[in-house]
Amino acid sequence: MRYLLTLASAALLLAAAVPTFAQSTSIHIDKPWARATPAGAKTGAAYMTIDNKSGQPDRLTGASSDVAKTLQIHEMKVVDGVMKMREIPGGLPVPAGGSVTLKPGGYHVMLIGLNKALKKGEKFPLTLVFEKAGKVSIEVPVESVGAMHSDMPGMGHMDMK
Amino acid sequence: MHRRYLIVAAMSAFALVAAAGLGLAFFGVSDSGAVRTGVAAIGGPFTLVDDTGKAVTEKTLAGKPYAMYFGYTFCPEVCPTTLFDLSRWINDLGPDADKLNYVFVTVDPERDTVQLMHTYLSSFDKHIHGYTGTAEQIAKIAKEYRVYYKKIPTDDGDYVMDHSAMIYLMGPDDKFVSLIRYQEDDASALAKLRKLTTMAPVS
């Protein structure tokens, strides 16, 4: 119970109270990025690679940011030519000692109800919530509207790994 | 016929549209470019309003081949990607780009007002026009073009849309020519668009 309450409070407190679980060293976020949004768009998407350095599986269960009202962890698929996008029930699993990549055409953190357009060259804060690692705060740089990867704007179909 | 009824039973009223979309998708995978098909006609009469508030019908597009894409502005990924790709291809076509019409039709008329469509499209190539309408008008054009779309409620009381994610390429006679799939490579998509420009009547 105490652990749960702590989890719900500030990340710093959490780190102090439960150092074995809450250290942000267990989760590393590589190459976070988001797409610039078209004018008037109410939604956006953030992408990244999540590395889980710990010996136990974790799960990305939520996110928050002051750029949007609601953030959800989504999976996007094109099935037989039809685009389907869904919130991942229970969050996105990150295997122990493994990684998962959020990228166009797959998983993304969906930003719903944007407070302002995401403009190329800007950054915004994003706090990710993991089941075990707790909160991880990052800065997300905004790439061009057609970007497919964090550092190769406009160049599709190139795998970073 | 038997199979179709089974599908209808298994799915919903959307099934027919979905099945057509499915067949089209499979066709799209195997097609090699600008090939006329024998499948049921895609395209037909519609009445909508463009992103400047002007009434439009199928006659607005008559005489020029056109590229038509169905999506919605609330879409975080597929729609902006597709419209961005299309913008790049239009740019690559150079002066020939003017031989075609380009239309983005919303499947979410509830949120996509004339004003929002106009604002949204200001981020893309100016050749692309936005069409919206009433829920009934959108249902009608989606049916004519065999487009599948469905509203999916989300936990927060909002909704997202499932929708067909391909660009339809139509001849100047309003007949289906070909389609460009989501994330089709540039060379292939451009070849199809170039082929489409050759179908434009000499002016």
A112 touches chain B (CB under 8 A): yes
Residue A54: which of A85, A104, A29, A20 has the closest Cα?
A20
Q: Is B145 on the interface with A (CB under 8 A)?
A: no
Q: Report how far residue A53's alpha carbon sits from residue A93's, in angstroms, rounded to the nearest whole number.
A: 14
| Range ranked top by mean pLDDT from A20-24, A87-91, B41-45, B53-57 | B53-57
**CB–CB of A94/A100 below 8 Å?**
yes
Q: Picking from A72-81, A152-161, B176-185, which range would have the lowest pLDDT averaged per residue?
A: A152-161
Model confidence at A88: pLDDT above 70: yes
Q: Does A1 touch chain B (CB under 8 A)?
A: no
pLDDT exceeds cutoff 50 at B34: no
| Single pTM value for the model | 0.78
CB contact under 8 A, A86 and B152: yes
Tokens representing residue A126 in the block: 């994003």
Model pLDDT, residue B126:
96
Burial class (CB in 10 A: 0-12, 13-18, 19+), B18: buried
Structural domains for chain B:
2-198 (3.40.30.10)
Return the percentage of chain B with pLDDT > 70, whole number.
80
pLDDT for residue B202: 77
E strands, chain B, where?
A: 47-50, 55-57, 66-71, 101-106, 128-132, 149-153, 159-164, 167-170, 176-180
Answer yes or no: is pLDDT of B18 > 70: no
Q: Which of A33, A32, A39 is nearest to A114 (CA)?
A: A39
Work out the minimum CA distance from A79 to partner chain B, whole angstroms.
9
CB of A4 within 8 Å of a chain B CB? The answer is no
Tell me the mean pLDDT in the region B133-152. Answer: 96
Residue of A nearest to B85 (CA): A146
Share of chain A above pLDDT 70, in %: 76
Which among B133, B76, B75 is positioned nearest to B103, based on CA atoms? Answer: B133
Instruction: Inform me whether the C-beta atom of residue B32 falls under 8 Å from chain A C-beta atoms.
Output: no
Give the span between the Cα atoms of B173 and B14, in whole angstroms: 28
Take residue B117 and report the two structure tokens written for it. 């469509």
Of B73, B77, B166, the CB nearest to A45: B77
- Level-2 CATH architecture, domain A22-143: Sandwich (2.60)
Say how far apart CA B178 and CA B181 lie, in whole Å.
10
User: B21 and A81 in contact by Cβ < 8 A?
Assistant: yes
Q: How far is A56 from chain B (nearest CA, A)?
A: 29
3-state helix, strand, coil in chain A (%, to 5): 15, 50, 40
CB contact under 8 A, A83 and B122: no
The tokens 């160049």 sit on which residue? A155
The answer to whether B181 contacts chain A (CB < 8 Å) is yes
Q: What are phi and psi of A135, to 5 degrees?
A: -90, 135
User: Would an 8 Å CB–CB cutoff place B190 in contact with chain A?
Assistant: no
Instruction: For residue A76, list chain B residues with Cβ-Cβ distance below 8 A.
Output: 77-78
DSSP A121-133: T-EEEEEEEETTT
Q: Look over chain B and give the mean of its residue pLDDT values, rounded to a whole number.
A: 84
For residue B24, give the chain A residue with the closest CA.
A81
> Residue A66 pLDDT more than 70?
yes
Min Cα distance B201 → chain A (Å) is 31
Contact assignment for B77 to A84 by CB distance below 8 Å: no
Asked if residue B107 lies in contact with residue B145, where contact means CB atoms within 8 angstroms, the answer is no
Give the closest residue to B96 by CA, choosing from B181, B200, B26.
B200
Banded pLDDT at B12 (limits 50, 70, 90): very low
Average pLDDT over residues B44-73: 96
H or E stretch covering A100 = strand A99-102
Question: Domain limits of chain A?
Answer: 22-143
B136 and chain A in contact, CB less than 8 A: no
pLDDT band, very low/low/confident/very high, at B203 (cuts 50, 70, 90): low
The ipTM is: 0.74
